[in-house]
Amino acid sequence: MDKTSISLLCIIGTEFWERFSFCGLRTILSLYLRNELHLSENSATIVYHVFIMLCYIVPIVGAICADSILGRYRTILYFSIVYISGNAFMILAAIPTIEISPIFATIFGLTLISIGSGGTKPCVAAFGGDQFYLPIQRDKLQHFFSLFYFAINLGGFVGMILTPILRNAVTCFGDDTCYALGFGFPAILMFLSLSLFMLGKPWYRMKQPKSNVMMEFVSCTSYALTRRIKSQSQMGHWLDYAENKYNRKLIRDMKVVYAVLLLYTPLPLFWSLFDQQGSRWTFQASRMDGFFMGIQIVPDQMQVINPALVLFLIPFFDKCLYPMMQKRNFMTNQLHRMAVGGLIAGVAFLFAGVLELELEKNYPKLPGNYQASVNIINTTPCRIDIINPFRRRVALNASEMYTFQNIPAIKETEYNITVIAPSICGVYELPEKVFQMRILAVERQVDTIVIAINRKYTIADYITDPIEFKRSLSGKPRLRIVFLQRSKFLRNVTVSLISHILTDIYFFPDDSRSMLVSDYLELPPGGYNYLIRAKNLIDKEGYVHLALGGVYTLIVGERNSNIEFNRLYTMSPPNNVNIMWLIPQYFLISVAEIMFGVAGLEFSFTQAPKSMKTVTIASWYLSVAIGNLMVIVVAQANIFKSQAYEFFLFAVLIVGDMMIFTQMAGKYKFVELEADSSIFVMSELQPLYEDSDDENDFGTNVMQLIEVASMNRINALDKT
């Protein structure tokens, strides 16, 4: 294995372990923000995209350090150390026994990770490109970028699979998940990445910055613009106004960079679509049925489809599709591929919107402004009639539930209803048949009123706490237990929920109140046998089935140490659309990523001047940051009540955006790859090396080689 191969192996391995670490942490981040730090879904979306945005803003700083101050090797080294420090803070944040604010540690840790990841991001790809002699190794460079992108997605694929499994499979600190391990594992991987990178130092081809390129870039830009504004004469390009102060090569390079940066202006919208896999699409998955062939797929694991498909499709595109398209004179350059990739991303969001419309059919019907909803549950053993001011008389059989939806309510509005019951209700003889009740409708809230026979054998109403319809990101069903107590006092009342994987016991406090309500319990989906028992209560058994995404209320009624009523009510229907319906949109976004991402990365490197390659790649990553900012703005604006319409908006915008990009790409003039300083030797070295019988023959020809190459260079200069 030659020197170049070893150096490339170390660089690709470094990127693999770093992506393994980063994607693993990113996959469980939204769940951690929502479930552990108790942020709302919208707030978690914003924090997630702010973090991603920072990861793609900092590359500008990394590019300045690499091209102007430290060089690429030392920039990668120093920023990686910052990266590992951020991992350490994330571990501390997830350990509850350490006396440190988890929110502060999380924000500080994410900030350090974004600085470390962003600082290395533009340098690793460019550092890999530095190992080639251009343009004679142009084909090898193209294959390197495909292999480099393959390593990125392989690392992401493995990280997205293993990290959620580790988080779920291990319990720690009294919780059924272990985020400390979920964040600790990526920290170890990042340490491996840094170690491998340092190990390859003897084989790397180093290029140190010869001048402060960014300072020259900024000062030349400022000077040219100032002279352009003050000057009365017209010149071909606005940068030409700096020719009297700056050398022509710098100005020529800057013209190329600005032409490339102009092409980047429509690109952020693509990344605003692509990065929603980790936020909006994950939340969408949490509202779907995750069981497939008897195996439960948790929402955050669906993100693994993207890198898995990319791993499979990159070789197909590189070896089959692109050569076939080039023969037909279609998608002949990187810009063509990027435009087609953007359009395919729009189709992916069209699929996401259609799927969301199907999911919305099963969402709970929540009241809007100036509205409220009230559930009435009849736990008496007979039919009752409810006379109300909203609708006509409602007949409610024993054990049934009826919902008054979207009744008028401004803040809190009081209504009177009348309940009419028969004189003989089951085994009970009621002294009165007509009962007056008062209900309080609270704006934008769903309340539940339980009608029962109280200790005095009259009809009574019991109001529970408002229903919490918010589904967990894990998709677990949510259950609360309402215990109606007709005996004066019971001791040590417990309700045990028993399945084949766990036993969850809820303890009701010793209390003389007529109704006790548990907190919401999040449980794994499946069937549960429940056992109700107390010190002076006859045990009662039953069975309930809890499905993914459902919100349930189990009502238990007791009288004289007997359970006379127990029934499960579905307050919000469970998920009924299988999670596998996400595959079409993930397939499309993966195809879009290959055509857009790989081609764009190659374009950024090959079209940039030799002295500004890292800056150009950093600007490419900056477009990703701006794309995430777009998602934050749309999420904060909250324009649409329906998530589906937001998906459709992005689909329409990307189509218009790619039409503009296509027009701009048609006017772009490609530049030839800039030769390395050693290329004049290497162009003659290759045939002599191939013709040499052994290394000694090759060595004896070195002086001849230098002489020939020098004469060729002189002749070339004479011709120009």
Closest CA to 515 of 477, 487, 548, 475: 487
pTM > 0.85: yes or no? no
pLDDT at 718 over 90: no
Coil, strand or helix at 531: strand
- Token pair of 676 as six digits: 């390395």
pLDDT at 280: 84
Q: Work out the pLDDT band at 331, boundaries 50, 70, 90.
A: confident
Summarised one tens digit per residue, pLDDT across range 25-52 is: 888 887 788 778 878 767 887 888 888 8
Closest CA to 291 of 502, 472, 526, 583: 526
- Token pair of 48 as six digits: 């997630």
How far is the CA of 12 from the CAs of 9, 126, 200, 651, in angstroms? 5, 12, 11, 34
pLDDT at 400: 95
Query: Per mean pLDDT, which range of 162-176, 222-236, 703-717 is the poorest?
Result: 703-717
Q: Domains of the chain (ranges plus CATH)? A: 3-203+247-362+577-666 (1.20.1250.20), 363-467 (2.60.40.2890), 471-574 (2.60.40.1120), 679-719 (no CATH)
- Token pair of 350 as six digits: 């069209």
Q: How many Cα atoms are found within 13 Å in the side-chain-facing hemisphere of 573?
A: 12
Give the whole-angstrom CA distance, residue 481 versus residue 552: 9
Summarised one tens digit per residue, pLDDT across range 591-644 is: 998 889 888 877 887 788 877 776 677 678 788 888 888 888 887 777 887 889
Summarised one tens digit per residue, pLDDT across range 161-215 is: 888 778 777 777 767 678 888 888 888 889 998 999 988 888 888 877 766 677 7
Summarised one tens digit per residue, pLDDT across range 103-124 is: 888 989 999 999 998 888 878 8
Give the whole-angstrom CA distance, residue 21 versus residue 23: 6
Residues β-bridged to residue 432: none
Give the whole-angstrom CA distance, residue 556 versus residue 516: 10
- Tokens 């006509």 belong to 392
Are 89 and 174 within 8 A, CB to CB? no
Summarised one tens digit per residue, pLDDT across range 470-516 is: 665 567 888 999 998 887 767 788 889 998 777 888 888 877 788 88
Question: Which of 138-152, 311-325, 346-360: highest mean pLDDT?
Answer: 346-360
pLDDT at 351: 95
Q: How remote is the C-alpha of 303 from its chain's centroid? A: 8
DSSP 680-699: HHHHHHHHHHHH-SSHHHHH
- Tokens 């999380």 belong to 106
Q: Work out the pLDDT band at 708, boundaries 50, 70, 90.
A: very low
**Section 4-12 average pLDDT:** 85
**Section 289-318 average pLDDT:** 80
Give the whole-angstrom CA distance, residue 143 versus residue 504: 55
pLDDT at 710: 37
Q: How many CB atoms lie within 10 A of CB 501?
A: 8
pLDDT at 674: 57
Summarised one tens digit per residue, pLDDT across range 423-447 is: 899 888 888 889 998 888 999 899 9
Give the whole-angstrom CA distance, residue 28 versus residue 94: 12
pLDDT at 419 over 90: yes
Q: How many CB atoms lie within 10 A of CB 659?
A: 13
